[in-house]
Each structure stands twice: as C-alpha cells, then as structure tokens.
Structure 1
Amino acid sequence: MGHITNNTTTCHVEVLQFVAYTPLFILGLLLNATALWAFVSRRHAWTDTHVYMLNLAVADFALIVFLPFRMVNAFHCLRTTYLCTFLIYIHYVNMYASILTSTAISVHRFLLVRFPLRAKAWQWKRRTAIVVCVVIWVTVIALAAAYRRTYYPEKLKTCYERWSDELLPPDFLITLVVAGFTVPLLIIVCCSSQTILILWRDKFNSGKEKKHIVGIVTANMIVFIFCFTPVHVSLLLKNSGIQLATAQTTIHHVFLVSEWMATTNCCFDSISYYFLFKSLHPSAGPAGSISRTR
C-alpha cells in the first residue's frame, strides 16, 4: 500500500529519544574508538579471538557513528527519503552483524575450553576467524539488499518508522526473528552453559580465577538476552496486525525502548574488550584460553 508522506502531520518532537541516545552516542563513540585504536596498535599480537573482537568493534562503531541522525530526527523530523532507508539498514545490518559475531565468539570460546589441547594445534584458527567474519557481513548485507524495498520512502511514516498498516513481509520477519535472533540465542545459551559447566569441573584452576571467568561468561550471556530479546519480541508484536489504536501506541513505545536497549549493547561489548587486552598473553589450560575471549 502506498502512502503520501507528509512530515508535518506524521512526525512530532521526541525529546526522550534525544535524551536517551545522546549519552549512549558519546559513551559508545569514546569506548569503541578507543577499542579500535587498541586493536590497530596491537595488531602484531592478534589471535583468532582478536579477529572476532575486532569485527564486533567495527559493527558497534558503525552503528554508533550514525546515531546523530536519530538524535537530529528527534527534534527536526527528517524527510522520508532514501537517506532514511540507508540509515535503517545501517542500524539493522550492524546489529545483526554484532549478534552473529557474538554467536561465533561463543562457539569459539566453547571449543577452546572443550578441546584445549587440540586448540593449541589449530594453526588455521585466525584464517578461519577471518572467513567467518566475512561470511557474516556478506550474509547480512545480502539480506538487506534482498529486502531493500521493505524500507523504501513510500513505506515510511517517519524517517525511522514504517506506517502501521505496512507490515513486514512474513518471510523477512521470520528470518530476522528466527535466524537472526532465536537460533543465535539458543547457540549462545547452550555454548555458554557448557563452558561454565566445564570450567566448574576443572580442578586445575584456582577458585578465584574460576569464579572470575565464569562471571564473565555469565555476564556476556545475560547482556545478550537483555539487549536483544525485547527488540525481537516487540518486532513480532509490531507486525502482528493488531489494529486497536491504544495497543498500537503501547507497542510503538515499547519498540522504541527496546531499540534503545539493543543499541546499549555497543557499550557493554567494550567491557569485553577490556578483559581481552588485560589478558593478551596466553596461559595454559582452559582458563588461560577462555580469559582471552569475550
């Protein structure tokens, strides 16, 4: 269904969005720029773990640098042009690149702990990490290109919002929610749980070190669930076809909050970078391997 866009009647000032995204942009920019600088300055010491973390930092940084457009839109409603289409896809491409990279890191971490002796002999690990990261970017960009018309200007009520009667194509929605979130979530929960179980059973690491590592793995899993579950639940609700005006308003507000929550992941990831650079030198055994991962 086509619409005639009129920003003066469909867009209004959203001060809360500006207030919410401003500190997130400042903090995220500082943390991720610092992380990227640290990665580049220590490129001689890169391992496969560093490749995954660098990919995560790039995805987070690319999402953060375009947040000022959203902040400007909160006060001066941007016209619904192809710039809006680009901004929406930049946001989602980088969000799903981050989700898939986090999934790869979780699997990689589990393999290091589950097969520590074999892991030392895997000389091709860094090359594999590079291939995995390339595949992730090709996949999310190809998906965005395939469904590029979904966020064309005529589909948009405002620069960051589709018309309420313009539901996402079912196959696109299923791909985002199932392949883009549910499957990664199950993999992360499974791998993290197994990693924690293996570490607790390890008798060769001190109790303090073990608790520290288990805490990091647990925190990573909780942050993933906290950041990305609400936005996908609200995405389903938003595209459920509910026509009741009061329900649509509530769902709209929930979706805006959940999008902000998903974006906060860019800052939480920086904590992982800190622990990575704190343990640049490998240690023996599973704990030594895991301390260098996300």
Structure 2
Amino acid sequence: MKTNCSFTEVDRLMKSLELAIYVPIFVCGLVLNILALVVFCFLLRKWTESTIYMTNLALLDLLLLLLLPFKMHATIHRWEAHHRFLCSFLESLYFVGMYGSIYTIACIAMDRWVAIRHPFRAKQLRSRRAALGICILVWVVVLGGTSPIYSFRTAGNGSFHCFHGFSEKGWRPDVISCLLGFGFVGPALVLVVCSAQSIRTLRQSGKESHKNRACVRIIYSSLCAFLVPFTPSHLGILLQFLVRQDVIQDCMAKTNISLFLQVAMSLANITCCLDALCYYFITREVRTSKQTFTFRRSRSSSQRRATTSISEL
C-alpha cells in the first residue's frame, strides 16, 4: 500500500489491546466449547440434526481458539523468514475456523426454516445423515476457499509479522468480492431471511408452546452469534479495501480504518463465546423433547395397563 502515513501508533496500541481481547476469549471459549462437546458427545444420547450442526460448530470454534496463542505470539514477536509456510498454514486454518462457523450457522438457520416452514417435507429433507453430509461439505468448501492464502504472503529473507501484512494479491478486487459476497453477505442474507420467516411462522401459528419459544430463542441466538462479531469485521475489510484502492486517501481516515479493522477482527473471535447461547438452547430443547417423549411413553404404558386391568374384571 503506497502511503506516507505512519501506523506506528496503531501497531503499538494493538500490541496491548489484542492481548486484552484474546486472553479472555481464549479462556472462556475453550471452557464453553469443551463443555459443549462433552455434553453433545457423551451426555445427550439422542442425536438430532441440531446437535450434529452444533457439534460441528463447536469443533470449528475450537480450531479458531487453538490458533489464538499463535496470533498472540505474532502480535508481539516477528517470525523468521523460514516460518512463512507455517504462517500461511496457520492463517489458512484460522479462516477455515471463521468461515466454517459462518456457513454452519447459516446451515442451522436453513435447517430450522425447513423444519418450521415445511414440516411435512422436512421428514424427507432432514435427517442425521444429511446433516453430517452438509457439515463435511462445509469443511471441504472452506478448506478449498482458503487455499489461495498461501500465495498472499510475499517471499523474502527478512522477519515478518504473521497474521498481518498480506501482499497486494490478497487485496485484489476479485478476491475481496468473493470474500465479502460468498463469505459474509450471502450467508448473512440466508440467515436473516430464514430466521425472519421462521419467527413469523411460529408467531402466526398462535401456539405459545415451550417448543416454539425454544425455537425462537435458538433463532435469535444464531442471529446474535453471526451478526455481532462478523458484521464489523467485514465492514472493516471493505473499508481497508477502499484504502488499498486509493478511494480513501485521507491519512487520518486511513489510520482510523486500520485501527477499526484490527479491533473488529480481534473481536470477531468472540463468536466462540456467543455460540454458547446456541449450545445452551439446543441442549435444553433436546432434553425437553427427550423428557416429553419419556413422559408420553410412560403415560401410554400406564393407560394400556389400566385398560388391560379393566378388561380382566
């Protein structure tokens, strides 16, 4: 980027600010996602489409969290030139975790939309095998989509800051258009439209049942886990792209955008904690459904026994 502006003050501020953001997210997110995996894999015996998606989301969040120590190290220390491939590999995995989470949340919204808006067709469209296949497809898509990152870091013999300073290849219009279009705007539209239609259908049904309220909570928690962390970060990417294209040339604006982008990208990792809202409501829904099924089965058994006893009199 050709500029006479100095970003030294921004870099100095971010060294301490990123650590203040990453450490609580790392500790809190690690505990919540490990607990979620324990609950989903060992405590909930009934696997549903929702729990499969949530397990995939927890795995992606864990991948994101396990890379935060490398980001914290790269914030303070420069890496030697021979670590460039390792850096690109870690950067690729970081974006796999981020955009894998985005696509998984969008898939959860679509799954809920099918179940609520098309309950009769849902029996053919929804299944645990289909949910597992979609989760595998998400991994394949994001792994393939992040592969160009290996070409975004310029070769050289000097030390460098990993997770910072992509080359001009990473800011090409086609790259940023695909990133914003397929990585954020597309999934965001799917999430918002499916969520709005699902909530409207639940409210128009006129049934204030516990299951309906649980579905609404899951929908709102998914919206929160998506829009709160990812909207500012992608807005920052768009603004930084305009800086790279010399659309924004004011020095003060450039430094403010650089600070905003770095803070927004750091805070985007809070999705690992916000997803815990989805885990909580999904767990409650599954346990409630299980208890309701057990109650109905025991009540049916009691009725059959009572009928048999009456007939024997």
Q: Same fold (TM over 0.5)?
A: yes
What amino acid does structure 2 have at the position aligned with 1:144? T
> In the alignment, which residue of structure 2 is the partner of 1:173?
176
1:255 & 1:157 partners in 2: Cα distance? 19
User: Which of 148, 151, 175 lines up with 2:150 in the alignment?
Assistant: 148
Cα distance, 1:38–1:268 mapped onto 2, change above 3 Å: same
The answer to whether structure 1 residue 72 and structure 2 residue 73 are counterparts is yes
Deviation, structure 1 residue 72? 2.1
Q: Is the CA contact (8 Å cut-off) linking 1:82 and 1:152 kept in structure 2? A: no
1:46 & 1:152 partners in 2: Cα distance? 46
Between 192-201 and 64-73, the greater mean CA deviation after superposition: 64-73
2:19 & 2:204 partners in 1: Cα distance? 48
What amino acid does structure 2 have at the position aligned with 1:250? N
What amino acid does structure 2 have at the position aligned with 1:52? Y
Query: Aligned runs of 1:55-66 on 2, under 5 Å?
Result: 55-66=56-67
User: Which of 265, 268, 271 lines up with 2:274 in the alignment?
Assistant: 268
Between 260-269 and 215-224, the greater mean CA deviation after superposition: 215-224
> In the alignment, which residue of structure 1 is the partner of 2:111?
108
1:156 & 1:134 partners in 2: Cα distance? 37
Deviation, structure 1 residue 214? 2.6
Cα distance, 1:34–1:283 mapped onto 2, change above 3 Å: closer
Q: How many residues align?
A: 276
Query: Aligned runs of 1:1-294 on 2, under 5 Å?
Result: 14-42=15-43, 44-79=45-80, 81-119=84-122, 121-122=123-124, 125-152=127-154, 154=156, 158-162=161-165, 168-206=171-209, 210-211=212-213, 213-240=215-242, 241=245, 242-281=248-287, 283=289
What amino acid does structure 1 have at the position aligned with 2:264? S
Deviation, structure 1 residue 185? 0.6
Deviation, structure 1 residue 210? 4.6
What amino acid does structure 2 have at the position aligned with 1:175? C
1:18 & 1:234 partners in 2: Cα distance? 20
What amino acid does structure 1 have at the position aligned with 2:21? A
Deviation, structure 1 residue 124? 6.0
2:149 & 2:162 partners in 1: Cα distance? 17
The alignment-based identity, stated in percent, is 32
C-alpha root-mean-square deviation of aligned residues, in Å? 2.9
SS in 1 for 2:171: coil
1:163 & 1:124 partners in 2: Cα distance? 41
Q: Is the CA contact (8 Å cut-off) linking 1:79 and 1:159 kept in structure 2? A: no
Cα distance, 1:235–1:156 mapped onto 2, change above 3 Å: farther
What amino acid does structure 1 have at the position aligned with 2:204? R
Structure 1: runs of 5 or more not aligned: 2-9, 289-294
Q: Which has the higher helix share?
A: 2
Q: Is the CA contact (8 Å cut-off) linking 1:147 and 1:172 kept in structure 2? A: no
2:159 & 2:272 partners in 1: Cα distance? 26
Q: Deviations over 1:205-261 (max 9, x none)?
A: 34x765554344234213321211111111111122245433322111101111122
Q: Deviations over 1:135-180 (max 9, x none)?
A: 1111111122244201355599621212586652222211110011
